[in-house]
Amino acid sequence: MAWRVSLSPRHGFLPALARYPETHGRAPVQLTILDGSTFCICDDLGDVHGEAMGFFADDLRYLSLLRVKINGKQPLLLTSGRIEDFMAAFHARNPVTDGLQPDSLTLVRRRFVVGDALQDQLVVENVSQQAIELQLRVDLGADFADIITVKEHDFSLGHPVDAPPLPPLRECQWDGPHDARLTDGDASSTHVVLSKPGDTDAHGSSYRVALAPRERWELLVDVFPSTERGQIAPRQQDARFRDEVACARDSLAAWHLRVPQLRASWHALGAVFDQSITDLAALRMRSREGGGRLPAAGAPWFMTIFGRDTLVTCLQTLVLGPDLGRAALDTLAALQATEDDPSIDAEPGKIIHEIRHGKAAHRWFERYYGTVDATPLFLVLLSEVWRWTDDWALADRFREPALAALRWIDEYGDRDGDGFVEYERRTPHGLENQSWKDSGDSQRFRDGRLAEPPIAPCEVQGYVYDAKLRIAELARDAWREAELADRLEREAEELKHRFNEAFWFPERGTYALALDGSKQRVDSTTSNMGHLLWSGIVPPERIGAIVDHLVGPGLWSGWGIRTMSSADGAYSPLSYHNGTVWPHDNSLIAAGLARAQRWPEAYRIAQAMLDAAGHFAWQLPEVFSGLPRLEMSYPVQYPSAARPQAWAAGAPILLLQVLLGLRPDRTRQTLRTVAPPELPAWVGDARLTGVRAFDRRWDVNLEDGRVRVEPA
């Protein structure tokens, strides 16, 4: 039995006993294949095993063991990888066993995850000149663990030593040589349909295969989760699966046709843009509340609605069109809290943090509202979609949710009446920290001490300031409510004055990370101050000092801006929120720098992010290490960072908008550029076609350093 050593940012090195020891010393490389909120985590052979792999749907693991062996041994990997986000291919050769010489067989597995189903297509081919007989074994098992429990066994985001034990594997019940059912003793079950009859037992099925030279043998393994008991006809399932694959391909094709197309001479720009488009397509999911497709937060553990993540992603990607933003507004407005419920941190008007289903909802919450920033960000997104569309019907439809959100900010968000929005959990099972840096150790003083709640994060005050100014514009121009507009503008200016008095360190030229429960300024130097540039709450005379800190040696890693300065006591380049680099964080800071007309620094972030993306196969992860570029010639991914992840995929889209300086002009019904007269030479030439704004399409050309926008 092999031991695995795990690194956790909170608990140091953790020995975690592998549940399935048959890895023969080879550290498995994980792949995630997904379609919306249904996904499969497997190793690079295509096998599903171990504590944190599986086939998941609706926050439940419906298959925790799916493994193929030849003559009792693992095949030997040749190559593998994703073809689309919902499809992967795995190529292997036979192990050396009695009766099998090296390189006698090839095994090709193609896996699809579409709708709520998984299909494996296995093809074994005799590539030798001799007839061969072999045994092929398919192991099956399901523990029906909820995703919250499984995540605790992930060595980075969980705590495997203290995690509750996983349920035992359920044995196969066979309804014939083709059909297996695994049940949880309640309404949950998994149906596995094999295209060929085999020798079945409680743990899977075996096949005696005889192959002449160059002969092939094929097997389909279809996996269908179900919450209802009863027989499932294999033919009906096969037809259903074919329909789901066709739908997935049609949806992907429609998405690619609808979003803008980019051609760029700078390879990194084109490659990372294309990967982001693909990732965002894969993460789109339909909520049970309707409202169209909106992005799930990220694979594997956050394949659900997250208010903050969804809103930020939609704000990052409006250059792709308003569809994601409209869907998010519809869904989040439908989920907006209407009652004061301390058990789920809900208050009237508050925007939701997270949704979970089934067993995961019992272990966590079905609906949880523990987020302090989603509510003002909802208002910012509403305004931004309106600015890109001039859609008066949309403005009217969301008037009541917007007013409810404003009431939450004033009546509940400001817990003690000091004019700032704070958070403190009211349920003991909720999140201790409820801003975007929501890990339990993220709110720290410069000397490393933890701040005590209630906590008023600096960036949230900026979001509120921006939200009130934006809704004032909506109130005046769309709702024809001048009195409301005047009041919101007055409140925003008062907030700006109070904020700059309470949060500013004049001797250091920085803003505090937050105010703690005693109204002390939390004095660590963090990336959060960059969000203040994005919201516009920083007065012009302080912008230079903020920029100097953002690109200074403490925060600037060379690959991007760190979440915490390397000079602070709690800094660690591998701490989730205390020294790592987050692409979405950097994209918002770059947008803020552009707003402040600090173009060289904005471009510096864009170039560093896209350079980093090249080391991650153009797919930026959720987060990566803050180790300095001078010491590391490549960025180091944070262990178990989500990939794909929505606001990481959205980061290059926003960075492209920053590079091109694109801004909608609602009063003139046009898309324009505010980019400087000449962009850096390294950006090269680019052409972005089909940008949608005001029910028209626009083409953007970057040539010889100059940006030009014209109707398509």
In a domain, 253, yes or no: no
Cα–Cα dist 259/246, whole Å: 20
The tokens for 268 are 């990194």
Task: Report the share of the chain in percent with pLDDT over 90.
Answer: 81
Structural domain containing residue 191: 3-247
Q: Are residues 660 and 570 in the same domain?
A: yes
Q: Are residues 272 and 241 in the same domain?
A: no
Domain count, the chain: 2
| CATH code assigned at 644 | 1.50.10.10
Nearby residues of 615 by Cβ (< 8 Å), 6 or more positions away: 634, 635
Of the pLDDT bands very low, low, confident and very high (cuts 50, 70, 90), residue 363 is confident
Mean pLDDT over all residues of the chain?
91
Which residue carries 């659900």 as its tokens?
Answer: 304
Residue 235: pLDDT over 50:
no
Q: Are residues 96 and 237 in the same domain?
A: yes
Q: Are residues 240 and 185 in the same domain?
A: yes
Cα–Cα dist 41/82, whole Å: 12
Question: Any alpha helices (H) in 369-481, and if so which ranges?
Answer: 374-389, 392-397, 399-408, 458-477
pLDDT at residue 237 in the model:
55
For residue 670, what are the β-bridge partners?
Answer: 665
pLDDT at residue 4 in the model:
30
Q: Are residues 183 and 270 in the same domain?
A: no
Residue 204 phi/psi, 5° resolution?
150, -155
Of the pLDDT bands very low, low, confident and very high (cuts 50, 70, 90), residue 240 is low
Residue 16: pLDDT over 60:
no
Residue 7: pLDDT over 80:
no
Instruction: Give the end of a domain, one of 247, 278, 308.
Output: 247
Task: Report the share of the chain in percent with pLDDT over 70.
Answer: 93
The tokens for 157 are 């985001």
Residue 115: pLDDT over 90:
no
Q: Are residues 243 and 277 in the same domain?
A: no
Half-sphere exposure in the Cβ direction for 543 (13 Å, CA): 19
Cα–Cα dist 405/402, whole Å: 5
Q: Are residues 587 and 640 in the same domain?
A: yes
In a domain, 14, yes or no: yes
Residues in the chain: 712
Half-sphere exposure in the Cβ direction for 447 (13 Å, CA): 2
Cα–Cα dist 94/285, whole Å: 38
Residue 162: pLDDT over 90:
no
In a domain, 481, yes or no: yes
In a domain, 637, yes or no: yes
Cα–Cα dist 514/68, whole Å: 53
Q: Are residues 184 and 322 in the same domain?
A: no
Residue 496: pLDDT over 50:
yes
pLDDT at residue 678 in the model:
94
DSSP codes of every residue in 605-659? HHHHHHHHHGGGTT---S-B----TTT-SS--BPTT--SSBHHHHHHHHHHHHHH
Instruction: Give the end of a domain, one of 225, 247, 269.
Output: 247
Residue 8: pLDDT over 80:
no
What region does 114 belong to: left with phi over 0, alpha with psi -120 to 50, or beta?
beta
The tokens for 86 are 């919902």
In a domain, 185, yes or no: yes
In a domain, 391, yes or no: yes
Q: Are residues 87 and 167 in the same domain?
A: yes
Contact (Cβ atoms closer than 8 angstroms) between residue 683 and residue 266:
yes
Q: Can you give the pTM of this predicted structure?
A: 0.91
Q: Are residues 598 and 552 in the same domain?
A: yes
Residue 251 identity: S
Residue 149: pLDDT over 60:
yes
Bigger pLDDT: 640 or 118?
118
In a domain, 254, yes or no: no
Lowest mean pLDDT among 355-369, 388-402, 431-445: 355-369
Instruction: Give the end of a domain, one of 247, 278, 305.
Output: 247
Q: Are residues 214 and 316 in the same domain?
A: no
| CATH code assigned at 86 | 2.70.98
In a domain, 252, yes or no: no
Q: Are residues 237 and 286 in the same domain?
A: no
Cα–Cα dist 505/514, whole Å: 12
Cα–Cα dist 636/626, whole Å: 8
